[in-house]
């Protein structure tokens, strides 16, 4: 079927985890005849949650895409994750949308996840519709949700449908514009009959219709005047102004239903195609001219230069890497080339694909508003702009959310560490929130992500896609050792005599502490001819090796200076090896007398929490030997800036979640090293000695 940009509706389904996004998407696909039966998340038959990690947890982990037609328009569904561990994917996928449906569970209300995804939609300036779901469940309360939405987001939430009955008596909807009732058979077929509004609802219907009109007329000054003068407004005027109000984000309509029973989904679909904008109705997309700060725009036209943003990458073990892009201007055909501005590279590709759940279908052409996938682009990664070479533009991508929890990844099969590293690197292309590094001091592979489940699901995926099994272990804290006082004239003689050629070397050192973060200084200050100069590199090498393992707990030694001022050698028995051993032993002897101490890494943290839990969070930080440096307020949230020892916050993400009911977030970075308090140092040293 030939489609034009004005027929497209790119709509993202967003919400707190478990509000029913995927079930609603399944109902939309079924009603739009894109699927022949209603897929169900709970049975594992969903067309959109098809990855084994998703089926097992019954949650969406990675955004999926599908489309169907409705009233001669095409609805492109972007089904996003709601779980906190995977919200970064939601944030990035919203860059492909032109509107959003925010789902709210009628039994649970506005949750922390709802607030987070609402803020993402604000950032992308997306018009939105609120869908109050699960009205067939116990304790479902539509009117309470409407009030809560208005209060939390400081908007005028405007119901355009009201539910008939509640909980197990929920049987249909009242259309406040057409003033009709739609009665559903509860067989999930999506079929309904038009009827008169139930008599016992007349009062509540006229009250809410009045409120609705009051909110809608704000989108049109002429209509507002007419309304205030008491003139009757036609259904058509109300409806046209409502659609205008949704597109301009003045009106946020509220729809209701039950996704699992396919009730209310057809009405929502009609509102999506009439009320949410097509790609042509969005503002031109702003970017910067390649190589400068000059802001330029691209209008969503087919005859303009081609430009698209890669908003997501999927690592497919069969098709290789799939890059998902949203086209903003111009057109592209299969078997052609593209220019990647960010990498300054030309990319060639074969097929253009459209995503249909887990399947892909080839496309003949893509234009403004299309969401397409291209396989095996060599240089391209998430966040890159693809465009035509002679008219380059760079779009600024959304920043992935920061990683908050880290584990050491250990291969279950000894010796397969390199395979672990390379396979994880492939998953990093797919998931920009993952961080992978090798800790030089502990030689561990450290994997960081946005939460515990995020990292567990990553390891499951690693095994499924690349056959690599790993364990997640707590990260080792990279302690350091140093000294607190100077020692002069430390002498060590290395002498070995056992028939044949012996070994002989003697070194004289002064050892002194340096200021924080100064590292190691070697000062060769020999005078006279006691030590031939060709042995100096061996002495320095011996020192470097000795610094790798301190005498307290085997941690690297930092911030000290060694002055090598004298020694003795033997014409026959001295060798580089002998001087290397002497230097190493002399330094160990010096450190013992120089008041050695243990240092620990201190992290700088920025913790964002709602005001009502601020006291608890600060009390908890004090209990972790933290120091609060300052406070800042950010809308309804407070930002606490603190310094805390790394050892105390290895699993802070989990603890902050339980302290704040999931409403807190934090960022952290390494700040500096500080001395470990004596009683703790004893424990760390004892633990290290036990291991040896």
Distance CA 270, CA 668 (A): 45
Helix axes 112-123, 142-153, angle to 10 degrees: 50
3-state secondary structure 404-456: CEEEEEEECCCCCHHHHHHHHHHHHHHCCCCEEEECCCCCCEEEEECCHHHHH
Report if residue 159 sits inside a domain.
yes
Domain edge (last residue) among 423, 440, 474: 474
For the chain, how many structural domains are there in total? 5
CB atoms within 10 A of CB 677: 12
Q: Are 625 and 570 contained in the same domain?
A: no
Q: Are 189 and 307 contained in the same domain?
A: no
- Give the residue-averaged pLDDT of 536-540: 95
Q: What are phi and psi of 258, to 5 degrees?
A: -140, 115
Q: Nearest-CA neighbor of 450 among 19, 83, 52, 95?
A: 83
pLDDT exceeds 90 at position 44: no
pLDDT of residue 427: 85
C-beta separation of 84 from 450 below 8 A:
yes
Q: Are 82 and 42 contained in the same domain?
A: yes
Torsion angle, alpha carbons of 411, 412, 415, 418, to 10? -30
Q: Are 448 and 495 contained in the same domain?
A: no
Q: Nearest-CA neighbor of 108 among 16, 14, 23, 13?
A: 16
Q: What is the mean pLDDT of the chain?
A: 90
Beta-carbon contacts of residue 678 (< 8 Å; ≥ 6 apart): none
Q: Are 52 and 119 contained in the same domain?
A: yes
Report if residue 311 sits inside a domain.
yes
pLDDT of residue 121: 96
Q: Are 366 and 486 contained in the same domain?
A: no
The pTM assigned to this predicted structure is 0.82
Q: What are phi and psi of 453, to 5 degrees?
A: -65, -35
C-beta separation of 287 from 307 below 8 A:
yes
DSSP 332: B
- Give the residue-averaged pLDDT of 577-598: 95
Distance CA 537, CA 558 (A): 20
Q: Are 316 and 454 contained in the same domain?
A: no
- Give the residue-averaged pLDDT of 9-29: 93
Q: Which DSSP string do the residues of 340-369 spell out, in sequence order? A: ETTTTEEEE---EEEEETTEEEEES-B-TT
Could you read off the pLDDT of 608-632 as tens digits, one per residue? 998 899 999 999 999 999 999 999 9
Structure tokens given for 29? 């696909």
Q: Are 147 and 114 contained in the same domain?
A: yes
Report if residue 231 sits inside a domain.
no
Handedness of CA 401, 402, 408, 414 (dihedral sign): positive
Run of H or E including 582: helix 576-593
End-to-end alpha-carbon separation of the chain, Å?
70
Distance CA 655, CA 165 (A): 41
Q: Are 162 and 83 contained in the same domain?
A: yes
* Confidence grade of residue 11 (pLDDT, cut at 50, 70, 90): very high
Q: Are 557 and 679 contained in the same domain?
A: no
pLDDT of residue 499: 66
Report if residue 399 sits inside a domain.
no
50: domain CATH number? Answer: 3.40.50.300
Could you read off the pLDDT of 82-133 as tens digits, one per residue? 888 888 899 999 999 999 999 999 999 998 889 999 999 999 999 999 999 9
Report if residue 230 sits inside a domain.
no
- Residue 45 sits in which domain range? 5-197+249-281
Residue of 141 and 498 predicted with greater confidence: 141
Structure tokens given for 47? 């067309």
Report if residue 547 sits inside a domain.
yes
Q: Nearest-CA neighbor of 193 among 144, 263, 296, 97?
A: 263
450: domain CATH number? Answer: 3.30.70.870
Distance CA 424, CA 422 (A): 5
- Give the residue-averaged pLDDT of 264-287: 94
Ramachandran quadrant class, 399 (left: phi over 0; alpha: psi -120 to 50; beta: rest): beta
Q: Are 42 and 191 contained in the same domain?
A: yes
- Give the residue-averaged pLDDT of 169-188: 94
C-beta separation of 110 from 149 below 8 A:
yes
351: domain CATH number? Answer: 2.40.30.10
Residue of 213 and 1 predicted with greater confidence: 213
pLDDT exceeds 80 at position 293: yes
* Confidence grade of residue 1 (pLDDT, cut at 50, 70, 90): very low
Cα 291 to the chain's mean position, in Å?
A: 28
Distance CA 263, CA 174 (A): 12
Report if residue 501 sits inside a domain.
yes
C-beta separation of 628 from 640 below 8 A:
yes
Q: Is 528 exposed, middle or buried (0-12, 13-18, 19+ CB in 10 A)?
A: exposed
Report if residue 139 sits inside a domain.
yes
To the nearest whole percent, how much of the chain has pLDDT over 90?
Answer: 65
The 10 Å CB-count burial string (b at 16+, else e) for 99-128 is bbbbbbbbebbbbbbbbbbbebbeebebbb
Query: Locate tokens 């340096």: which residue?
Result: 514
Run of H or E including 78: strand 73-79
pLDDT exceeds 80 at position 260: yes
Least confident of 158-172, 181-195, 414-428, 524-538: 414-428
Torsion angle, alpha carbons of 379, 384, 387, 393, to 10? -130
C-beta separation of 59 from 19 below 8 A:
no
Q: Are 127 and 177 contained in the same domain?
A: yes
């Amino acid at each position: 079927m030939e489609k034009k940009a004005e027929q497209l509706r790119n709509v993202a389904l967003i919400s707190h985890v478990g509000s029913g996004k995927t079930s609603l998407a399944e109902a939309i696909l079924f009603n739009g005849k894109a699927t022949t039966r209603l897929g169900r998340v709970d049975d594992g038959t969903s067309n959109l949650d098809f990855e084994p990690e998703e089926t097992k947890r019954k949650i969406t982990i990675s955004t999926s895409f599908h489309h169907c037609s409705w009233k001669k328009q095409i609805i492109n569904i972007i089904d996003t994750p709601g779980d906190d561990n995977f919200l970064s994917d939601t944030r990035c996928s919203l860059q492909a949308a032109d509107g959003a449906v925010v789902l709210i569970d009628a039994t649970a209300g506005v949750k922390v996840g709802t607030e987070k995804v609402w803020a993402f939609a604000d950032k992308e300036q997306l018009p939105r519709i609120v869908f109050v779901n699960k009205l067939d469940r116990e304790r479902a309360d539509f009117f309470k949700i409407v009030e809560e939405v208005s209060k939390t987001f400081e908007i005028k939430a405007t119901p355009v449908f009201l539910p008939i009955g509640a909980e197990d008596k929920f049987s249909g909807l009242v259309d406040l514009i057409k003033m009709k009732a739609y009665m559903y058979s509860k067989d999930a077929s999506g079929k309904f009959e038009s009827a008169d509004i139930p008599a016992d609802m007349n009062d509540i219907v006229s009250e809410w219709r009045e409120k609705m009109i009051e909110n809608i007329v704000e989108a049109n000054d002429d209509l507002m005047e007419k309304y205030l003068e008491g003139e009757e407004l036609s259904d058509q005027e109300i409806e046209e102004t409502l659609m205008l109000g949704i597109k301009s984000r003045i009106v946020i309509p509220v729809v209701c239903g039950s996704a699992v029973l396919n009730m209310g989904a057809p009405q929502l679909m009609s509102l999506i195609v009439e009320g949410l904008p097509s790609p042509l109705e969005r503002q031109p997309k702003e970017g910067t001219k390649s190589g400068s700060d000059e802001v330029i725009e691209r209008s969503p036209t087919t005859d303009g230069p081609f430009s698209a943003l890669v908003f997501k990458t999927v690592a497919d073990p069969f098709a290789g890497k799939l890059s998902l892009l949203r086209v903003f201007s111009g057109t592209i055909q299969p078997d052609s080339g593209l220019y990647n501005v960010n990498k300054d590279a030309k990319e060639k590709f074969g097929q253009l694909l459209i995503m249909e759940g887990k399947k892909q279908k080839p496309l003949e052409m893509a234009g403004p508003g299309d969401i397409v996938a291209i396989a095996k682009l060599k240089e391209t990664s998430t966040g890159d702009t693809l465009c035509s070479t002679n008219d380059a533009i760079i779009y600024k991508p959304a920043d992935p959310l920061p990683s908050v929890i880290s584990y050491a990844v250990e291969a279950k099969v000894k010796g397969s560490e390199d395979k672990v590293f390379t396979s994880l690197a492939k998953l990093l292309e797919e998931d920009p929130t993952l961080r992978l590094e090798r800790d030089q001091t502990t030689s561990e592979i450290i994997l960081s992500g946005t939460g515990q489940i995020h990292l567990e699901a990553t390891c499951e995926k690693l095994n499924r896609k690349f056959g690599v099994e790993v364990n997640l272990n707590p990260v080792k804290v990279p302690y350091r050792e140093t000294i607190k006082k100077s020692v002069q004239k430390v002498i060590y003689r290395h002498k070995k005599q056992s028939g044949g050629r012996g070994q002989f070397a003697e070194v004289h050192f002064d050892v002194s502490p340096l200021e924080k973060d100064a590292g190691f200084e070697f000062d060769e200050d020999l005078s006279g001819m006691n030590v031939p100069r060709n042995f100096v590199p061996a002495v320095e090498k011996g020192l470097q090796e000795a610094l790798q393992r301190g005498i307290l707990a085997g941690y690297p030694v930092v911030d000290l200076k060694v002055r090598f001022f004298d020694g003795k050698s033997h014409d026959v028995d001295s060798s580089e090896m002998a001087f290397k051993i002497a230097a190493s032993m002399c330094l160990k002897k010096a450190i013992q007398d120089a008041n050695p101490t243990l240092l620990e890494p201190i992290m700088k943290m920025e913790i964002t929490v709602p005001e009502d839990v601020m006291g608890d969070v600060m009390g908890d930080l004090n209990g972790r030997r933290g120091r609060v440096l300052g406070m800042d307020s950010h809308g309804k949230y407070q930002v606490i800036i603190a310094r805390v020892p790394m050892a105390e916050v290895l699993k802070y993400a989990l603890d902050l979640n339980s302290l704040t009911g999931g409403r807190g977030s934090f960022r952290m970075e390494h700040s500096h090293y500080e001395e470990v308090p004596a009683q703790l140092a004893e424990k760390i040293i004892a633990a290290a000695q036990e291991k040896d």
